[in-house]
Every structure is written in structure tokens, then in C-alpha cells.
Structure 1
């Protein structure tokens, strides 16, 4: 039994939907199909989700929404026409899109989520109709009926543990179930979305809930590469990696898979494979709890930018009981999330995403560190990137960090910080952003020397 998720690029047009139909028909074990909203057909196109955001903004600012509605409906109509589907499905979609502009605005914290979810919801209706027209016993299933009950956190919904009992009952269904991704329903019957890209999360939840043998995530690439193809020319593709490795790579900029999507499948011990809708015969990249072969010490190298570091020092800091807690309390009171905290005996660096640090918060942090904690020095360092060297086998190979630092040194790249957790799944390097791509290439050459990078 397989749960299959298709991303927006896989569902952008009638031509793409025909590929999806062939994929589902080719394997009778593919019984649960999770769909995104239609993505871009070409580089200048607009995603349906982005069109819905514009529609929402027009509606909530009391503008005429007719043009916005018509564009979205026409987008679905184009697909319906090209697939020769009955217009009854288009009527349902049109009614759903138009009805959004009748919902209450004031005192409705779920309005934005309801608008956004319409992309996936209407696409699922269309795809189920397309499957039936082509001989498949398929039906559309709303997340409410599926049992995807979530917390009341608009834009950041979490599946409720009690949902899994209801989801398991879906195993007994004979039809192919087409379920919209990206959102669930609260206990009070409100539409509530997962974080953006959350169709991956829906697929993972379904896979765990029905205890699938495999969760297939179809996108527009042949799996995951050892480095970003836009940085390294023709990097190695990764055949297999672990959930922990994927989490590290996703954190540091690998955007093929939504990182939160790993959690339900990981906990349910469901293997996951990333495949290409446009090249379904390619084996893709399989993500498992434990890799079958030892392989190379490093499976992937990722880089991400827009980090800053709060650097502080205080003489005899290590003797001051509770100093670290006091620093963290300052951040907590300002609602700031930190990423990494490398320390010395008299100094500490707190690495943050740049978006966490507004000018007002920055001023308050410096003031409190100086006034309350009486630090000797504090400064904010900007324009930083992190480079993650990832591989669970690093712990059984001597000299991985030495090889990495030599590669960076030979490329004249200065290290601002270096950090490695006790699990030894990854090594993190902090460097200036201007050197990020150069560093990824240098590390790739060091650990994948057979490839011309």
C-alpha cells in the first residue's frame, strides 16, 4: 500500500495530469493520492496559491474581486477543457471560488487559510473526476472526512494525535482516495493550513496513519543531489539517505522536501522516496530510518544564508552560574528563536536567522546584555552563511573535519565558527556569505573527487 503525493509542478496542466494518471495506473498499490494546487506552467506563470493570496488581499481591502475570481476559475477551466471533463466539476469549482468572497472578514482568524486551501481542495475534486473518466475507481475525500483534525493554529496547524485512529480506518477503502494536501480541519470545523509547502506534511500524515509500506513524493527532479545543481555542476544523485541526514540537509537549504513532512513518516517508520513525475522510471532518492550500506562518510553538502551572530564576551563567564539561562531568557522574552550557540570559556556566540532580529529587538538585546548581565563586549555580525556537511557515517571515518577545513583553507575561506553535535551526523561551518558557493564547491571537490565540479 502506497501513499503518493504530487507537487504543484506535477499538476500544473492537463499534460502533467496525464503523466500523473499513468503513474497511478501503473501500480495498483498506489491507493492514496495527495495533491497540491496547480503550480506554474512556465517561468512567467502564476501559481494558483499565489493567485488566491491576491484574491484574499483584494477581498479584505474591499476591492472588486471579479478579475481575481475569474483568473482562478479560468485556470481550472483550461485544464477541464483540455481533459474533456464534464462541466459539472467546473461548476463546483466556480461555486467554491466565488463563495470565498462571502465569508466574514471580521473576527475570522481562519479566513486566510480558507482562501489558500481552496487551491488544493478544488484541484483534488478535478483530479478525482479525471481519474474516474479514465477508468479508475477514485473519489475525492475532504480532509474532514478523512479524519485530518488539527490544532487551531492558523498557518501552522498540527495534527492531533487522536486523528490517527480515524485515518487508519481508510485502509479498508476500496477506492483510490484523492485528498487535498496542505490543510486540515479543526475540532470546530475551521479550515486550518499547515505551514507553506504543507502538502508534503499531509502526505506524511496519511502514510503514517494508514501504515503505508511506502510514501512516494513526486516532484520535478530526479531525487536529491549531493549538492545544489545550481552551485555544483552535475553533482552526484543520492540513492539512499536517512531521515536524520535529510533533516540536516533540509535545514540548510535543500528545499526538495518540506522538513516538517519528515516527522510523521519518521515516527511511523515509513520509508519515503522522492521521485520525478516527468521521469517516473528513475529510482529517485529513498529516505529510510537506517541505510543498508555504509557508503561514503558524507552524503550531502548544503549551504544557507541570511544568518547573523550575536557575539558576547565576559571575563570569568564560565564561573557564573545561570549565565547561559539569563541570555536565553532575554531572547525568549523578545520571542526570538536561536539556531546555534558555539561557546568558549569567556565568550558566547548566538547564531540566529536574520529575520528574527529587528532593529528594535537588536537594540534591546544589546542594552539588556550590557545592563543586566554586565558583559564586557557585545557586537552583531551580519552577512553569515552556514555550510552543513552531512553524513551518519562520519562518526566511523577519521579525518572528515580535517579534510573539510583543509579544503576551505586551500580555497582561502576563513571560518567564523565550527560546530558538531554529539550525534556526529553533521558538521556546521559558519562563513561569510560572499564565500558560500565557493565553500560548497571546495567541499564537494574534497569529498566527491571523481566528479568535475
Structure 2
């Protein structure tokens, strides 16, 4: 296994800082390893079902000014209670009043949206005894809203070199003129990744409320297993197929530097979580596959033309028609006399007949058929190409459950197999394929 990290960057999500009890878990995690010198935090999340996240309170205030007074009072109450329960001196009232004044003076909506992270980082710094370093001093956006990567990395590296330990708020930075600008929702993951890359961390730990990346959607499969090790390439493949994993923007800075990511649970810190790495040959593969994912809302366009594979101009004519009709192809499968295209069904609405006519005329096809209500199911694993048994297991599982396969695509990246099935069979298929693979999971080597 890899050597122990000498420098780790830790990002804690909203569920990890929701209340004083969670703050205490964060402190125990940070104190357990001296390598954890830089901490990034989100705004406090939900404490219980029906609760409102701090960021949502702030967004409501910015969208509906009449809610500002009541919502800001609730934000102040949340932070005051956390501080009181921790026994930490923290002027929640004064901080929130200053935020309110700045917003009314024109600081802007994005400034207000970012204050949950700002306040949480200040309180966490006080609790841990770390320095507070404001992201607005380091993370720079161009005036078109895009991140200035070079300037940001330079600022982070130079500023954090002055701090042995620091807490940094996630989610936001600023333009060169000092005006606050935020990432999209979930942007604290990006902040953490940027910090890890800038300081040359050995490991980027992303702490959340799940014990790693799950092998399947927990809304479909009951308590799915966490994947021990996954490559960045596999992660991207799963993401493109709809899996709720780290956004590419949150992965790129550390992937570029070859820094592994460890997804772990704040509530179960002893669990190993999921390690995301550039190359996984160093690690024992416990699972045959790294994930099962999919999406609904597709259609198959079947085009038949005799000896189309002998017509060098066919693909060009086909591409021209699809471009004119503004149709994006997600997957394709070509035979001797036919080609099947998988597209998003919503892009065909209202123009099926016109598209059929255009394809027949433009490509010389003898027939064009469109069938909707298709779901795509993908199995991703780095050894799929070298382990033919993986595809056999997948097809056996679907066959036993009498699930008809309407489309098959062996990914050109050699790490995925995608099948098209009827939407009504989607959840059933996910469960069947998942069950097939976990029946052979052996206990990981200690």
C-alpha cells in the first residue's frame, strides 16, 4: 500500500460541519494526523430531514430581499449555537451584521451566497487553533467568470507557504477588483483540489457523509458497496453516464499533478473510503468492476442502407444531416448494412418525421426507424478489456431477469460496456447487474 502522506489537504462538506457534534468529529480527524495541515470547509448543511442548508438560506435572501432579515437571523443563530456548544468565542452577531451591511451597500448576490463558507471557516479556524485565510485573497476569476488558474495557483502557493496550518473557505474567490465570485454549487470541492495542487500535497482527502464512492446509485440499490480504488479515467466514464461523483473541475487540478484523492466519511473515519488514482496497477483489485451507472431519456435511430460500410461518403453525409438537424450522438454501432445511433430523446421531439425524411434523402438510406424510451446502463472497470468474464456476467444477469438488450456498445476506451434497455426495466437491470458482481467480492486483504 502507498506510504503515509506527509502533507494532506482536507475538504469537509456541508454535512461534516452541520452542527457542533460534526465540528468535533472534524477536529478529531484533523488532530489524528499531523499531515492534515490545510482544511477547506463548506457552509453548514442540513442537521436533520427538513432542515435548510445555510447556503440555501443565503440564496433565498439574495433572490427575495424581503427574506433577508429573517434568514440572516437564522444564519446568526446557527453559528452562535455551534460556537456556544463548542465553547469557542465567536462574534456571530457582529459578523452577520457586517455581512448584512456590506450586502445592502452593494457587495452583490455572490458575496452573500458565499458567506456560509466564510463564517464556517472562521469558526473552524478558531476551534482548531489554525489560521484563517480568506479564499478571496487567493482564488482569482477573470472578468468573464472563468477561473484564472495560473494566478490562483501562484497566490495559493505563496500565501499558504506563510501558514503552517490554515482553514480556507470553499466555494468562492474574487475578481481582480475584489468583487466576490462563486463557483457553481459544490464548488468547495474545486477549492480543495486547487489548494492540494498548489501546495504539492501527497493526498487530497474529501470528507463527506458517505464511506466512499458507491458502486451503484443508493436510490436504486440498497446499501451498495463502496469502491476501494478507482482511476481518474474510470471516474470520468462513470460521471459521463450520470453517476453522482466528483465534478471534473474538482478533479482536474489534482489529476494533473498526480495527487490521489481519498473520499471518506466524517461519520466513519476508520473506514478506508475510496482512493482515486492515476494508475491502479499498484493496488489489489477487490471488485471486478468499479461502478454501475446509467441514464434514462434516450432514443435509438436505426438507419438501413445496403453495403453502407462500402460507401466512404456515407458517414460524411450522415454527419452533415445530423449537424443540420442539431442532433448530438451519444453512442453509435455500425454493421454491414445498418447503423444505430443513440441520442437524447428530448432532442427529437416534434421533428421525428422531418429527421427521418432528411436522413433518407441525405444518406440514401432505404429505411429509418426511431424508437424511444431507452435507458443506457454502463458497467465500468479498468480490466474489462482483459477480463472477458466481466461482459459474460453482465449479459448473464440481464438474461436471467429476461431483460431485453436493445443496443450494445463496447467503449473505445476499453474500460466500459454500455447496453440500451427499455426504460421500464432500468432499475431492475441495475439491481440485477449489481447483484451479479458483488456475489464474487472477496474480503479485501488487510
> Same fold judged by TM-score > 0.5?
yes
Shift, 1:14, TM fit? 1.1
CA distance in structure 1 between the partners assigned to 2:387 and 2:434 by the alignment = 17
Q: 1:370 to 1:83 in 2, by over 3 A?
A: farther
Deviation larger for 410-419 or 321-330 = 321-330
Deviation larger for 309-318 or 163-172 = 309-318
State whether structure 2 residue 417 is matched by structure 1 residue 427. Answer: yes
The answer on whether the counterparts of 1:294 and 1:393 sit within 8 Å (CA) in structure 2 is: no
State whether structure 2 residue 441 is matched by structure 1 residue 447. Answer: no
TM-score (norm 1): 0.84
Structure 1 unaligned blocks of 5 or more = 105-110
Q: State the match for 1:302 in structure 2.
A: 292
- Where do residues 96-245 of structure 1 align in structure 2 (5 Å cutoff)? 96-103=99-106, 111-131=108-128, 136=129, 138-146=130-138, 148-152=139-143, 154=145, 157-170=146-159, 172-245=161-234
CA distance in structure 2 between the partners assigned to 1:31 and 1:213 by the alignment = 12
Q: Deviations over 1:290-345 (max 9, x none)?
A: 111353573333233333226253636653352243245336xx5x7654344455
State whether structure 2 residue 320 is matched by structure 1 residue 326. Answer: yes
Q: 1:340 to 1:168 in 2, by over 3 A?
A: farther
Q: 1:376 to 1:13 in 2, by over 3 A?
A: farther
CA distance in structure 2 between the partners assigned to 1:364 and 1:160 by the alignment = 45
Q: State the match for 1:107 in structure 2.
A: none
CA distance in structure 2 between the partners assigned to 1:330 and 1:144 by the alignment = 44
Q: State the match for 1:405 in structure 2.
A: 395
CA distance in structure 1 between the partners assigned to 2:356 and 2:96 by the alignment = 53
Shift, 1:83, TM fit? 2.5
TM-score (norm 2): 0.85
CA distance in structure 2 between the partners assigned to 1:257 and 1:15 by the alignment = 26
The answer on whether the counterparts of 1:391 and 1:425 sit within 8 Å (CA) in structure 2 is: yes
CA distance in structure 2 between the partners assigned to 1:363 and 1:169 by the alignment = 61
Q: Deviations over 1:98-135 (max 9, x none)?
A: 5324428xxxxxx553332222222212222222xxxx
CA distance in structure 2 between the partners assigned to 1:103 and 1:361 by the alignment = 47
Q: State the match for 1:340 in structure 2.
A: 331
Q: State the match for 2:45 in structure 1.
A: 39
Secondary structure of the structure 2 residue equivalent to 1:221: coil
Q: 1:15 to 1:325 in 2, by over 3 A?
A: same
Q: 1:102 to 1:315 in 2, by over 3 A?
A: farther
RMSD: 3.1
Q: 1:159 to 1:401 in 2, by over 3 A?
A: farther
Q: 1:426 to 1:23 in 2, by over 3 A?
A: same
Shift, 1:286, TM fit? 1.1
Q: 1:130 to 1:380 in 2, by over 3 A?
A: farther
How many residues are treated as equivalent by the alignment? 430
State whether structure 2 residue 276 is matched by structure 1 residue 287. Answer: yes
CA distance in structure 2 between the partners assigned to 1:215 and 1:188 by the alignment = 30
Shift, 1:259, TM fit? 4.1
Shift, 1:228, TM fit? 3.4
State whether structure 2 residue 21 is matched by structure 1 residue 15. Answer: yes
Secondary structure of the structure 2 residue equivalent to 1:392: coil
The answer on whether the counterparts of 1:298 and 1:390 sit within 8 Å (CA) in structure 2 is: no
The answer on whether the counterparts of 1:224 and 1:256 sit within 8 Å (CA) in structure 2 is: yes
CA distance in structure 2 between the partners assigned to 1:86 and 1:6 by the alignment = 22
The answer on whether the counterparts of 2:38 and 2:165 sit within 8 Å (CA) in structure 1 is: yes
CA distance in structure 2 between the partners assigned to 1:236 and 1:442 by the alignment = 15
Q: State the match for 1:108 in structure 2.
A: none
Secondary structure of the structure 2 residue equivalent to 1:340: strand
Q: Deviations over 1:26-78 (max 9, x none)?
A: 2221111111111100111111122222112203xxx4532233223322232
Secondary structure of the structure 1 residue equivalent to 2:141: coil
Q: 1:402 to 1:41 in 2, by over 3 A?
A: same
Q: State the match for 1:349 in structure 2.
A: 341
Shift, 1:381, TM fit? 4.6
Structure 2 unaligned blocks of 5 or more = 1-6
CA distance in structure 2 between the partners assigned to 1:367 and 1:152 by the alignment = 46
CA distance in structure 2 between the partners assigned to 1:305 and 1:297 by the alignment = 23
